[in-house]
Structure 1
């Protein structure tokens, strides 16, 4: 009898241990990711070679289970975030992943534009429609559209930007109909929706989605940026530096291993990101000698200050360089002596 109790308890314990791996808590855990060389990822046709490397840095982010939560509690450079700090209101995890991939896509476009304009080369855009980023429950698009769908016509008309799409729909009223033409996984679909008052502004009507432009950048020489499943906008600065370096005869790496992080807007401004501490750890492990960090115009709680604090804590020899713009990063590299 006692043996049966032991066996039953053991089996129950096994089930609990396995269940703990699959039971999701209302938290996300982030930890140091990788520092990856950009030259194999970014290719400018007939671009110049470099002796050193520019590297993007990442964090690993995932939904917490019991074990990853406890592990993060015990490890210094792992962070725990309540789910509402990661997901937007009423956003699903699938929509979050789509949003991160589109943020990466926008980051690439800005990087290409800034780098080519700095190199004195023309930039043009071809607008192809809009991508659905989020569908709000209870609104007309709910159950019809999905995150990642590409809408390229409304009532048979094409639009050149999301602003014009919003303006067209904004002139309509609750009860009016719109017919959308969109693609999902390369399959064309149509849907007729009846507009409803928006929850955030009942005086206006809509279909209940958030969206982003689907546009293609046109440049010569051609550039390819292969990011696979890397999401988020934080590699913008380093993308821009790598593209610009391949466009110019001068090698701005000067033979160094250069990592960094920061968003990049179309005007060349560097913006703050999350997980700077984990990215410093990742860059140090990868052997980076220089790290560009968003300065946030000298704010007391800037990414740069957090990066310096972490660098001291892990006793790295890596130099932390504050930047507010792409041009500042380039000017620093211009003055940098070549590595012997």
Structure 2
């Protein structure tokens, strides 16, 4: 009888262990890492001098039943559904979108640094990358993620905003022809325009990002490896700038930060900044650049970053930035 109960208890313990460690459909966003920008940025014939710029990341973990339950009691750990994380697209498509965003972010980072140092560069507009197609779009069966739209109705455009402006001038359900580059082939797709729910304007129902070719002299390359998304733009730009000028901007300080960047030098909001503050502090950063743009919970990234630092009683200084120049001016005016 005792042996029977021993077996039953053992089986219950095993079943409980399996249940607790069984993966859920949720993910956990946790503090990631602070990575030396110099590992990713290279400008030909330039050396890195005292480069101590750090980009910061948010870690993503698949949640088990146990870790999902424990996350309710943990600081700076956020549970998100698969749909919230990926926007409802497949994992493969999500990764592809993140790679597109990262490539655009890298190009914008390089452009900013080259502009600021009056260094030669040329950015050619090639078309728009298709990231995602609305299920209500007339092109949902024909357009694919990764396609590049190079023209519409025989017209070619100098920038994405011109393409969007042209389509929005058309009538709803108007027949159009798209010129599309798919891998190494050019194809033509026909379909109709639609009214976009988000804006009420006429469109084709796709999420787009610029497809550009950047030519620089000297050549600059950013290889972010497995890091995706656009949030390292500001820190990449500072890294490229420092290599071009050979200036010592850090003066021995560890400078961490985050923020998207566009070709005009504007720094945009990102997600998970509280987790990035933790990652930067754990790496020993003395300064953290935070976008002064609205992010989560109707707070600016800077406000949430500062709140996180105060709650954790960190000595790391949180510095608000709206532009690339804000970050540069801070570095040059402080030691």
- TM-score bracket for the superposition, by shorter chain length: 0.7 to 0.9
Would you say the 8 A contact 1:32–1:279 is kept in 2? yes
Does structure 1 residue 292 correspond to structure 2 residue 289?
yes
Give the equivalent residue in structure 1 for 2:330.
332
Tell me the secondary structure at the aligned position of residue 25 of structure 2. Answer: coil
Q: Deviations over 1:77-119 (max 9, x none)?
A: 212345665455x655544433332222222222112111111
Give the equivalent residue in structure 1 for 2:220.
223
Does structure 1 residue 135 correspond to structure 2 residue 136?
no
- Quote the Cα distance in structure 2 between the aligned partners of 1:85 and 1:24: 11
Counterpart among 101, 113, 116 of residue 115 in structure 1: 113
Would you say the 8 A contact 2:193–2:203 is kept in 1? yes
Cα separation, partners in 2 of 1:8 and 1:308, compared to 1, 3 Å: closer
Instruction: Give structure 1 stretches of 5+ with no counterpart.
Output: none
Cα separation, partners in 2 of 1:70 and 1:177, compared to 1, 3 Å: same
Would you say the 8 A contact 1:111–1:236 is kept in 2? yes
In the TM superposition, 1:22-101 aligns within 5 A as 23-25=24-26, 28-62=27-61, 64-81=63-80, 86-88=85-87, 91-101=89-99
> In the TM superposition, what is the alpha-carbon distance from 1:290 to its structure 2 partner?
1.9
TM-score (norm 1): 0.82
Give the equivalent residue in structure 1 for 2:207.
210
Cα separation, partners in 2 of 1:139 and 1:287, compared to 1, 3 Å: same
Give the equivalent residue in structure 1 for 2:147.
149
Tell me the secondary structure at the aligned position of residue 163 of structure 1. Answer: helix
Instruction: Give structure 2 stretches of 5+ with no counterpart.
Output: none
> In the TM superposition, what is the alpha-carbon distance from 1:16 to its structure 2 partner?
3.9
Counterpart among 160, 163, 166 of residue 162 in structure 1: 160
> In the TM superposition, what is the alpha-carbon distance from 1:314 to its structure 2 partner?
3.3
- Quote the Cα distance in structure 2 between the aligned partners of 1:205 and 1:301: 32
Q: Deviations over 1:204-236 (max 9, x none)?
A: 765432211101122221110001232222212
Give the equivalent residue in structure 2 for 1:259.
256
The alignment of Structure 1 onto Structure 2 pairs a total of residues equal to 328
Would you say the 8 A contact 2:108–2:263 is kept in 1? yes
RMSD between aligned alpha carbons?
3.3
Counterpart among 307, 313, 316 of residue 311 in structure 2: 313
Q: Deviations over 1:45-91 (max 9, x none)?
A: 12242214111001013564423322322321212345665455x65
- Quote the Cα distance in structure 1 between the aligned partners of 2:40 and 2:200: 47
> In the TM superposition, what is the alpha-carbon distance from 1:321 to its structure 2 partner?
2.3
- Quote the Cα distance in structure 2 between the aligned partners of 1:69 and 1:162: 41
Would you say the 8 A contact 1:152–1:181 is kept in 2? yes
Give the equivalent residue in structure 2 for 1:193.
190
Does structure 1 residue 176 correspond to structure 2 residue 175?
yes
Cα separation, partners in 2 of 1:68 and 1:193, compared to 1, 3 Å: farther
- Quote the Cα distance in structure 2 between the aligned partners of 1:162 and 1:232: 20
Q: Which moved more, 1:166-175 or 1:307-316?
A: 166-175
Would you say the 8 A contact 1:193–1:207 is kept in 2? no
Does structure 1 residue 245 correspond to structure 2 residue 246?
no
TM-score (norm 2): 0.83
> In the TM superposition, what is the alpha-carbon distance from 1:312 to its structure 2 partner?
3.5
